[in-house]
Amino acid sequence: MTAKDPDCRAAIRARLQSRQLPLAHGHRLFRGQGDGALCACCDRFITTSEIQFDVECPEAGGPDGERERTRLSMHLQCFSAWVAESRLLADEAMAGKATQASGSGL
Protein backbone atom coordinates (compact mmCIF):
# COMPACT_ATOMS: atom_id res chain seq x y z
CA MET A 1 0.00 0.00 0.00
CA THR A 2 2.93 2.36 -0.57
CA ALA A 3 3.77 4.51 -3.56
CA LYS A 4 7.09 2.71 -3.77
CA ASP A 5 5.34 -0.51 -4.70
CA PRO A 6 4.09 0.25 -8.21
CA ASP A 7 3.63 -3.39 -9.13
CA CYS A 8 1.67 -4.20 -5.97
CA ARG A 9 3.45 -7.53 -5.92
CA ALA A 10 3.09 -8.03 -2.20
CA ALA A 11 -0.65 -7.43 -2.42
CA ILE A 12 -0.98 -9.74 -5.39
CA ARG A 13 1.00 -12.43 -3.62
CA ALA A 14 -1.25 -12.19 -0.56
CA ARG A 15 -4.33 -12.50 -2.78
CA LEU A 16 -2.90 -15.54 -4.52
CA GLN A 17 -2.13 -17.18 -1.19
CA SER A 18 -5.62 -16.47 0.15
CA ARG A 19 -7.09 -17.58 -3.20
CA GLN A 20 -8.76 -14.28 -3.87
CA LEU A 21 -6.86 -14.44 -7.14
CA PRO A 22 -6.40 -17.62 -9.17
CA LEU A 23 -2.94 -18.71 -10.23
CA ALA A 24 -2.00 -17.58 -13.72
CA HIS A 25 -2.53 -20.83 -15.56
CA GLY A 26 -4.70 -21.87 -18.48
CA HIS A 27 -6.23 -18.44 -18.83
CA ARG A 28 -7.32 -16.63 -21.96
CA LEU A 29 -6.03 -13.13 -22.43
CA PHE A 30 -7.58 -10.07 -24.04
CA ARG A 31 -5.67 -6.85 -24.32
CA GLY A 32 -7.18 -3.48 -24.97
CA GLN A 33 -7.76 0.05 -23.90
CA GLY A 34 -8.92 0.64 -20.35
CA ASP A 35 -12.66 0.91 -19.91
CA GLY A 36 -12.85 2.02 -16.28
CA ALA A 37 -12.93 -1.52 -14.90
CA LEU A 38 -11.67 -2.23 -11.40
CA CYS A 39 -8.28 -3.92 -11.38
CA ALA A 40 -8.46 -7.34 -9.68
CA CYS A 41 -4.90 -6.92 -8.40
CA CYS A 42 -4.64 -3.41 -7.01
CA ASP A 43 -8.28 -2.29 -6.62
CA ARG A 44 -7.71 0.80 -8.72
CA PHE A 45 -9.72 1.72 -11.77
CA ILE A 46 -8.16 1.20 -15.17
CA THR A 47 -8.57 4.47 -17.02
CA THR A 48 -9.01 4.89 -20.74
CA SER A 49 -5.43 6.16 -21.03
CA GLU A 50 -4.09 2.85 -19.71
CA ILE A 51 -3.73 -0.62 -21.18
CA GLN A 52 -6.21 -3.10 -19.75
CA PHE A 53 -5.74 -6.85 -19.69
CA ASP A 54 -8.86 -8.97 -19.43
CA VAL A 55 -8.11 -12.47 -18.23
CA GLU A 56 -10.55 -15.37 -18.34
CA CYS A 57 -9.58 -18.02 -15.83
CA PRO A 58 -11.10 -21.50 -15.77
CA GLU A 59 -13.01 -21.95 -12.52
CA ALA A 60 -11.49 -24.65 -10.35
CA GLY A 61 -13.67 -27.76 -10.49
CA GLY A 62 -17.35 -26.92 -10.13
CA PRO A 63 -19.36 -29.88 -8.75
CA ASP A 64 -21.58 -29.99 -11.82
CA GLY A 65 -18.63 -29.85 -14.18
CA GLU A 66 -19.71 -26.45 -15.39
CA ARG A 67 -17.09 -24.60 -17.34
CA GLU A 68 -17.69 -21.33 -15.61
CA ARG A 69 -14.98 -18.80 -16.30
CA THR A 70 -13.93 -15.99 -14.04
CA ARG A 71 -13.18 -12.81 -15.90
CA LEU A 72 -10.67 -10.47 -14.33
CA SER A 73 -9.50 -7.08 -15.46
CA MET A 74 -6.06 -5.81 -14.56
CA HIS A 75 -3.45 -3.24 -15.48
CA LEU A 76 -0.59 -4.16 -17.76
CA GLN A 77 1.94 -3.99 -14.92
CA CYS A 78 -0.41 -5.81 -12.54
CA PHE A 79 -0.81 -8.59 -15.07
CA SER A 80 2.94 -9.15 -15.35
CA ALA A 81 3.25 -9.06 -11.56
CA TRP A 82 0.39 -11.57 -11.28
CA VAL A 83 2.11 -13.95 -13.73
CA ALA A 84 5.48 -13.55 -11.98
CA GLU A 85 4.03 -14.14 -8.50
CA SER A 86 2.03 -17.13 -9.73
CA ARG A 87 5.22 -18.70 -11.05
CA LEU A 88 7.03 -18.06 -7.79
CA LEU A 89 4.21 -19.62 -5.76
CA ALA A 90 4.06 -22.64 -8.07
CA ASP A 91 7.81 -23.10 -7.79
CA GLU A 92 7.66 -22.84 -4.00
CA ALA A 93 4.86 -25.39 -3.86
CA MET A 94 6.92 -27.78 -5.98
CA ALA A 95 10.03 -27.22 -3.84
CA GLY A 96 8.00 -27.75 -0.67
CA LYS A 97 6.63 -31.05 -1.93
CA ALA A 98 10.10 -32.21 -3.01
CA THR A 99 11.55 -31.39 0.41
CA GLN A 100 8.71 -33.15 2.20
CA ALA A 101 9.01 -36.23 0.00
CA SER A 102 12.76 -36.61 0.45
CA GLY A 103 12.51 -35.85 4.18
CA SER A 104 9.88 -38.49 4.89
CA GLY A 105 11.53 -40.96 2.53
CA LEU A 106 14.77 -41.09 4.43
Residues that bind Zn ion (CB under 5 A): 39, 41-42, 75, 78
Alpha-carbon distance of 95 to 85, in angstroms, equals 15
Residue 38: CB minimum distance to Zn ion, A: 9
Residue 44: CB minimum distance to Zn ion, A: 5
φ/ψ of 38, rounded to 5, equals -85, 130
Decide whether 42 or 55 has the Cβ nearer to Zn ion. 42
> Following DSSP, what letter does each residue of 29-97 receive, concatenated?
EEEEE--SPBPTTT--B--TTSEEEEEEEEPS--TT----EEEEEEEHHHHHHHHHHHHHHHHHHHHHH
Nearest position to Zn ion, beta carbon: 39
Residue 69: CB minimum distance to Zn ion, A: 20
Decide whether 23 or 81 has the Cβ nearer to Zn ion. 81
Decide whether 36 or 96 has the Cβ nearer to Zn ion. 36
